[in-house]
Amino acid sequence: MDEVPAARPLPLEGVRVLDVSQVMAGPVCAMLLGDLGADVIKIEPPGTGDQTRSAMGFKLKGSDSLGFLNMNRNKRSVALNLKSEAGRRAFYALADGADILVENYRPGVTRKLGIDYETLAARNPQLVYASISGFGQSGPWAERPGFDLMAQAMSGVMSVTGHPGMPPVKAGVPVADIGCALFATYAILSAYIGRQRTGMGQFIDASLFDAALAFSIWDVCEYWGTGVVPGPVGTSNKMSAPYQAVRSKDGWFVMGATNQRLWTRLCEAIGRPELLADPRFADNPARLRNREALIAALEETFVTRNSEEWVGELLAMGLPAGAMHTYPEAFDSEHGRHRGMRMEIDHPIEGRVPNIGFPVKLTGTPQQVRRHPPLLGEHTREVLAEAGLDAAALAALEEAGAFSPDAA
């Protein structure tokens, strides 16, 4: 009988991460590291914990929101009052043995608490320390509170979102938060890999503002190339036409003909060969200039049949097309189920709870749910004991207010 190969360890197994963050960008970044095998220790204020625990307008069985449960799997929770001297002593014991730290305090707060990069790196030079903020650690806006809404507005993302002439619209998903989480993760892993050669950690400055700006490639290139300030164009884009949502008999669907070959094929597929001879639609630049007339002409045909029929027919002709799904329809679709984009995980209070699945798939070392999203302070003593603090030391820390929300 052939030997079954031993399972490969997860890529970040043995890496210790301190997650000193709340809400979204920092917690998602740390969760991605945990999904890859890192031992993520979530440091939370006693009593309240991560403010996302009490977010959202509905409750489950316990006190933690479903949003919190979807951003904090594969972590252990340690409740420490970092405003107290005893809490900082306990924190230093953890930071001295950590590989990575993720925090999202407003710039300057970590220095006041005594947990800034300079303080911790003097104790642990190998530490990779990532600071996530709204506008970065320096600059005229650095001290401002940083939230996804402000980053979308001030980066220009909202200026190109929605339809012309309509009130401002933010992107329906938190692009600045999630984008910053992804960029911070790539920077952390790069710094950690670099540490293997140099033995030295480093400081990472990640911001929601920078992350949102990084998504502006097509829009800002249009401005740099033409001097025209980009504005909202609904579901279309600035590179090709037709490429947007179009109206059908029973609603909407999306389609695209992004080059001349596909444009010709589209006109053939919908039985409109006369559009090929129309000078307004002769090539892509002409179609972009006359986008409104183009879509009006196409919708004369699209409104004669239902969306599902058109999507099927266009796909059969090799043209990109897709249905307009709600989130339930997307997660519950045959493809969404196949890709495992909804999974259920065990939780000590909630039972089985839904979680968004892993957004990328590693074939050799697939991500795993190794730990449920932690209860507040669930692992405080366990983790501190691993850091070398015995029962007497833990009792002394407790007496000194390390685990109390009221101590200072």
Contacts of 329 by beta carbon, 8 Å cutoff, 6+ apart: 323
Rounded Cα–Cα distance for residues 120 and 92 (Å): 8
- How far is it, in rounded angstroms, from Cα 22 to Cα 43? 9
Q: Which of 327, 300, 303, 316 is nearest to 252 (CA)?
A: 303
Instruction: Please state whether beta strands 252-256 and 321-323 pair in parallel, antiparallel, or not at all (unpaired).
Output: antiparallel
Nearest alpha carbon to residue 302 among 258, 252, 262: 252
CB contact at 8 A, 388 and 29: no
Cα 240 to Cα 6: distance, rounded to the nearest angstrom:
50
Please say whether the beta carbons of 176 and 151 come within 8 A: yes
> CA-to-CA distance for 237 and 287, rounded, in angstroms?
12
Alpha-carbon Rg for the chain in angstroms: 26
DSSP 8-state secondary structure symbol assigned to residue 152? H
Active-site pick, 39, 50, 116, 177 = 177
The sheet with strand 321-323 has its strands ordered as 243-247, 252-256, 321-323
Q: Would residue 205 show up in a list of annotated catalytic residues for this protein? A: no
50-60 core/surface letters (b: 16 or more CB in 10 A; e: else): bebbeeeeeee
The three-state secondary structure class of 120 is helix
Whether the bond between 242 and the residue before it is cis, its omega within 30 degrees of 0, is yes
Dihedral sign, CA of 194, 199, 205, 206? positive
Are 123 and 95 in contact, with CB atoms under 8 Å apart? yes
Residues marked as catalytic:
177
